[in-house]
Structure 1
Amino acid sequence: MNMNTLKSTTTPVYAYSADCPELKLQFKELINELVESSLSADALAEALSGSIDDLATMLRSMPALEGRLIERGIAAVAKSNPDLEVITQNLRLPVLPAALQLVELNDPAKYRSLTFDADQGGRKTYTPDLIVLNRLTKVAHVVDAKRSINTYDRARIEELMKRMKAAGLVVSDFLYKEHKRLIAEEVRVVILTADNRKTDLNGGIWHISHLDHLVEIAGAGEAIGLLQRKFRSRIQANWELACETFSSKSGHQITTAVDVMTAAEETEPDDEDDQTCGGSSGIGTRREPQMIKLGFAQVPVRH
């Protein structure tokens, strides 16, 4: 996609926008699916009528649901750009011992032009939330989306980054063999976080507001922020209705508001898998090793 820049500003202007009816409809359906499946007013009222464990279990599920909302929202926005191939399924990448050692012991400049055979397998794996491949530039972004990384200490973030970079060394081969011979000549890794803490643009940790640049869609980050706010508003409305229902049945008035999004700890599955990662089950076509570039996502170029 061509990127133009207005003479009066340094902000990139993209050919596609997240402000479109189709995307708004998808977001509405996504909220309905996630909220009504387990956080409807009836479900919340039933939890209030049950034990404290029932209520605690439901409250703990909310951050995980919001994380899933963000992941799927990002994928939906990215698909609005027809130049992008957005992959969300069959993404278990092997973290090869040799690749991990290479990442741990060397500067990225030493290995950023290497690629590993995805068929080698191994006990450790990493599953990104999505891979976004620009078919025009042949740049693939390995994306890990987080509702918040505020609960992650530095060591945990560094460990995640190592696994992402090690897994990135097989992405080119993996996409070619497992996803219809897609070609990636450069692989970049990025953690997208919806909070405002610990961002590091040069180190591959971006706030969701930078999503516009990653997917080349104007208003992409703002759209995800709006999606979050609508999700929380929907839950709050259901919570208030559930409290009214509970109060009318039990005679006990609930006056304390529950800020479920900030009170509960984030619960996300570990992307590292100790199960043996088997060989490729794809087209079975061996491919000669090629030179690729591996690195962090790059910040927008200012003109």
Structure 2
Amino acid sequence: MTTILSGAPGAPAYPHAVDLEVLEPRFEVLIDELSLQPFSAGALSKALAGGVSEAAAVLRAIPIQEGRLLERGIGIIADLNPDLVVLTQNLRLPVTKTALELVEKNDPKHFRSLTLDADNGGRKTYTPDLIIVNRKTKLAHVIDVKRSLGSYEVSRINELKSRMLAAALVVPDLLYRDHHRLVAEEVRVVILNAENQRSDIAGGVWPLSDLDHLIEVGGAGKAIGMLRDRFHGRIDENWKLARNAFAGPKEEWARRGASADIADANGNETCDPGAGSITEFHQPAGRGQIRVGFARIPRIGTG
């Protein structure tokens, strides 16, 4: 297979790369699925006719659907690397008092070789958006995808990172027990920020444009950016169609290709709209030391 450069500054070469012609049909299906009902021209027109409250409710749904889009889009692209296992289900991780104290009161070098039993949980939990495991390198990434960190205070980001690191201590045990004996010898956490601002690479906050490094697929960052742009473009297009329902005759709708489900201005529509207990430290059977820390971007000539 031809080695591909990702195009990002300082990026190593990866043996796998995005082929947009192959991915585009899957992206279109995903965009259709996540935009059809809540953001179709008909649904938006009905919301506009219903007043400010209904329109605001539809707009609040955009971040939720976009989050799902990004998670699933990353999974689609990660499938291009046959060494990866992408997990999105049954990922609720216990966050014990002991784990939080280890993370908050110690340098990572003091707890990075420990793993905690996933059974000994407490009231607190953390559910990542994805866990991606490289079967070849035995490296697992615990991933939290954010549309934007613009409204996050530094203290809130730090609290999230501490929770992620504490939860990461149970990942090796959980993977081995609940996911077909998957083995992780190192666990790294990373927050992916889709707005590509407020990055802290060393501290585990990455721009989504650096997705190439995380899944070792050249062009992954550009592809996920294109997916996001097309999703927003679809919503914008449907919004314009819905808005024009109040400004022009139905012939204008037909001329612009509006679908049959578009409601009229009266709202008629033709389609359905703690603390945990002290936990025993142990090494999973048959495995060596487990390392936990923030995600790192590989460099050419380094391991």
Fold conserved (TM > 0.5)?
A: yes
Give the CA deviation at 1:291.
2.3
2:296 equivalent to 1:293: no
* Structure 1 residues 20 and 82: alpha-carbon distance in aligned structure 2, compared to 1, 3 A threshold: farther
Identity among equivalent pairs (%): 51
Q: Deviations over 1:139-178 (max 9, x none)?
A: 0000001111111110110000000000000000000001
* Structure 1 residues 156 and 2: alpha-carbon distance in aligned structure 2, compared to 1, 3 A threshold: farther
Report matched runs for 1:1-303 at 5 Å: 10-248=10-248, 287-288=284-285, 291-303=289-301
Q: Deviations over 1:261-291 (max 9, x none)?
A: xxxxxxxxxxxxx7999xxxxxxxx954852
SS in structure 1 opposite 2:202? helix
Equivalent pairs counted in the alignment come to: 270
Give the CA deviation at 1:3.
7.3
- For normalisation by structure 1, the TM-score amounts to 0.83
Letter matched to residue 65 of structure 1: Q
Give the CA deviation at 1:72.
1.2
Root mean square deviation, CA, Å: 2.5
Letter matched to residue 23 of structure 2: L
Give the CA deviation at 1:249.
7.0
What runs of 5+ residues in structure 2 fail to find an aligned partner? 251-273, 278-282
Q: Deviations over 1:222-269 (max 9, x none)?
A: 00100011011111110111111233479xxxxxxxxxxxxxxxxxxx
* Structure 1 residues 166 and 10: alpha-carbon distance in aligned structure 2, compared to 1, 3 A threshold: closer
Q: Distance in 1 between matches of 2:275 and 2:25?
A: 39
Give the CA deviation at 1:21.
3.6
Give the CA deviation at 1:71.
1.3
Q: Distance in 1 between matches of 2:22 and 2:91?
A: 26
Give the CA deviation at 1:302.
3.6
Shifted more, 36-45 versus 56-65: the winner is 56-65
Ranges of 4+ aligned residues in structure 1 off by more than 4 Å: 1-6, 274-277
- For normalisation by structure 2, the TM-score amounts to 0.83
Q: Is the 8 A contact 1:146 1:191 kept in 2?
A: yes
Letter matched to residue 298 of structure 1: R
Give the CA deviation at 1:13.
2.0
Q: Which has the larger Rg?
A: 2
* Structure 1 residues 2 and 240: alpha-carbon distance in aligned structure 2, compared to 1, 3 A threshold: closer
Give the CA deviation at 1:17.
1.3
